[in-house]
Amino acid sequence: MTVTVRHTLLGGLSKFSISDDGIGLNAAQAEQIFLPFRRLTHREGCSGLGLAICRRIVTLYGGEISCESALGRGANFTFTLQGTEQAEFASDFE
């Protein structure tokens, strides 16, 4: 699986995109995965809280998070954060 991370700065708004070429998910699942304790698979050690926590953190910082996906075509997670500087993130993504 290939994972790609991108960052763009749009006038004081940082936009992050994390995409993969995995199995993907359908449109209904793309919203449900952000709900607490919602899991698409039932593996040991998974609580279903990870993306719910991510949404809460991003929302607390004035941003938004979403997922676009299609079965067999991977997934693309995008989130925005307000008031961040590009220099803070440049070394992490080069």
Q: pLDDT value at position 43?
A: 64
> What's the average model confidence in pLDDT over 9-36?
88
Residue 55 is given by DSSP the state: H
Tokens 């995109």 locate to 17
User: In whole angstroms, what is the distance from residue 34 CA to residue 38 CA?
Assistant: 7
Report how far apart, in Å, the C-alpha atoms of 61 and of each of 65, 83, 87 are: 11, 9, 18
Chain position carrying tokens 């803070």:
88
Q: Compare 31 and 64 and report the one with higher pLDDT.
A: 64
DSSP E strand boundaries for 29-72: 65-69
Residue 83's CATH number: 3.30.565.10
| pLDDT (tens digit per residue) in 79-92 | 999 865 544 545 45
Domain count for the chain, please give it.
1
Structural domain for 37, as ranges: 3-93
More confident residue, 93 or 37: 37
Rounded mean pLDDT, 37-45: 70
